[in-house]
């Protein structure tokens, strides 16, 4: 959407500019008598007066937008950048030429015919127009339109119980499905928190092998750290992080959160432009769009503990959602989130290392007691991978 708006904005700006300058040049033409120009044909002269002025730029823009037709001969002259097509960029170049910002270029091609031509519809790249509510994208690469259509239809089965946000790590493209819908983060918060904490440790010269104490207030029943260590034990930070990422152990995460606090994450959220904030409680609320910023941040993390973080996220024991939708041989790091009751949330957030890697954050309110509800994650990941691998990044 952003790109479409941007190009529409550029065109409108261009039109305003052209109309304003035309008025000025008319006024000037009316008050002075210019000498007859030499009879040289230049690129951009689409009305045969041997000059390139704002009237020419306007005609080229109107032609490129399919508002008017011009003769075949003038369509050859209108191709300012000589790419074989007449588009808004040619009108912009003609305008710059008229304003003296570009050199006049003598036309050296063949003389065209007097036949009237119009811009072919196929030459205008139409943006993809979704039909399913909640679905949006800025992809206008026609080669992936059929897969986008399938993904969109697939999403329509779930209504807004499923949300996701996709972007490649260059942030050139996005696909969003209800990605502004708010959920409890569940355990998908643990990887962003630990990434922020690793930066904090490095900046404050705290060793990842220094120890923190396991207290009774940290303990969640049925979670791993408290069944492996006695209360009051001093445990290396590295080990506590391993439990939080590998087993998604709430006791381990609580031990880190209680020791180091919420600000570590909140400051990082502010830095990367995410609205996610934690208060007294170690889980927060946000949406798939904001969470994608945190996983992009994990992808971009290049600090001392990068290998540790990526290893733990690649070898965690919950790999049945997004990772199972990715062809083998492609590296995937992920962190799931699962919770029931009033704060129902069944999520997975991943970085997928395709040729141009991407982030997929999938937030849902699926019923986590049904194993079959993992399958949509895999299907969405599969569609997204095909799209990511087939769009042009030029």
Supply 232's token pair: 């009051």
Q: Between 88 and 117, how does the x/- string for binding to Ca ion read (CB under 5 A)?
A: --x---------------------------
Q: Is 211 helix (H, G, I), strand (E, B) or coil?
A: strand
CA angle 364, 367, 373 (to 5 degrees): 75
Position 22 contacts Ca ion (CB under 5 A): no
Query: What token pair was written down for 23?
Result: 């008025």
Interface with Ca ion in residues 182-201 (CB under 5 A): none
How far apart are CB 174 and Ca ion at their closest, in Å?
Answer: 29
Binding mask 344-373 for Ca ion (x = CB under 5 A): ------------------------------
- Does residue 168 belong to the site contacting Ca ion (CB under 5 A)? no
Judged by beta carbon, residue 56 or residue 152, the one nearer Ca ion is 56
CA angle (260, 263, 266) in 5-degree steps: 135
Q: Using CB under 5 A, which of 28, 29, 83, 317 touches Ca ion?
A: 83
How is residue 89 written in tokens?
Answer: 């960029």
Q: From the CB of 42, what's the least distance to Ca ion, in Å?
A: 8
Cα 122 from Cα 346, distance rounded (Å): 43
Exposure string for 352-384, b = 16+ CB within 10 A, e = fewer: bbbeebbbbbbbbbbebeeeebbebbbebbbbb
From 24-32, 73-81, 192-200, 253-261, span contacting Ca ion (CB under 5 A): 73-81
Using rule CB under 5 A, residue 78 touches Ca ion: no
Query: What are the two backbone dihedrals, phi and then psi, of residue 36, each rounded to the nearest 5 degrees?
Result: -60, 125
Rounded CA gap, 182 and 289, in Å? 10
- Piece of the chain touching Ca ion by CB under 5 A; list 58-66, 85-93, 112-120, 283-291: 85-93
Nearer to Ca ion by Cβ, of 70 and 244: the residue is 70
How far apart (Å, rounded) are the C-alpha atoms in residues 30 and 48?
Answer: 20
Closest distance to Ca ion from the beta carbon of 114 (Å): 17
Cβ closest to Ca ion, residue 120 vs residue 307: 120
What angle do the packed helices 190-203 and 237-246 form, to 10 degrees?
160
Q: Which of residues 24-53 bind Ca ion (CB under 5 A)?
A: 45, 47, 49, 51
> Pairing mode, if any, of strands 135-137 and 174-177?
antiparallel
Q: Which residues of this protein are in contact with Ca ion, per CB under 5 A?
A: 45, 47, 49, 51, 56, 79, 81, 83, 85, 90
């Amino acid at each position: 959407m952003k790109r479409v708006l941007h190009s529409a904005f550029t065109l409108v700006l261009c039109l305003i500019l052209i109309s304003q300058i035309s008025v000025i040049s008319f006024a000037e033409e009316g008050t002075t008598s210019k000498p007859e120009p030499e009879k040289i044909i230049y690129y951009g002269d689409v009305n045969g007066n041997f000059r390139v002025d704002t009237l020419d730029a306007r005609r080229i823009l109107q032609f490129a937008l399919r508002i008017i037709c011009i003769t075949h001969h003038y369509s050859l002259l209108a191709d300012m950048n000589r790419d074989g097509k007449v588009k808004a960029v040619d009108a912009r170049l003609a305008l710059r030429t008229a304003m003296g910002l570009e050199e006049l270029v003598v036309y050296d091609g063949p003389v065209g015919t007097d036949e009237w031509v119009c811009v072919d519809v196929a030459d205008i790249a139409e943006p993809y127009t979704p039909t399913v509510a909640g679905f949006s994208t800025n992809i206008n690469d026609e080669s992936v339109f059929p897969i986008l259509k399938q993904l969109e239809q697939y999403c329509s089965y779930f209504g807004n119980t499923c949300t996701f946000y996709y972007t490649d790590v260059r942030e050139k493209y996005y696909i969003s499905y209800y990605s502004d819908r708010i959920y409890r983060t569940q355990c998908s918060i643990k990887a962003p928190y630990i990434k922020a904490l690793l930066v904090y440790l490095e900046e404050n010269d705290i060793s990842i092998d220094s120890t923190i104490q396991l207290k009774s207030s940290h303990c969640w029943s049925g979670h791993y750290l408290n069944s492996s260590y006695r209360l009051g034990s001093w445990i290396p930070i590295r080990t506590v992080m391993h439990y939080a990422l590998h087993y998604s152990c709430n006791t381990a995460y609580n031990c880190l959160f209680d020791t180091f606090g919420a600000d570590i994450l909140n400051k990082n959220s502010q830095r990367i432009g995410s609205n996610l904030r934690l208060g007294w409680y170690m889980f927060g609320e946000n949406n798939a769009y904001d969470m994608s910023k945190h996983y992009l941040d994990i992808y971009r993390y290049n600090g001392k503990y990068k290998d540790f973080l990526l290893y733990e996220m690649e070898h965690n024991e919950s790999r049945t959602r997004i990772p199972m939708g990715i062809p083998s041989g492609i590296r995937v790091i992920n962190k799931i989130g699962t919770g029931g009751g009033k704060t129902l949330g069944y999520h997975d957030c991943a970085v997928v290392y395709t040729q141009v890697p991407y982030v997929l954050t999938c937030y849902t309110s699926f019923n986590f007691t049904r194993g079959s509800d993992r399958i949509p994650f895999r299907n969405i990941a599969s569609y997204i991978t095909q799209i990511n691998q087939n769009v042009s990044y030029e």
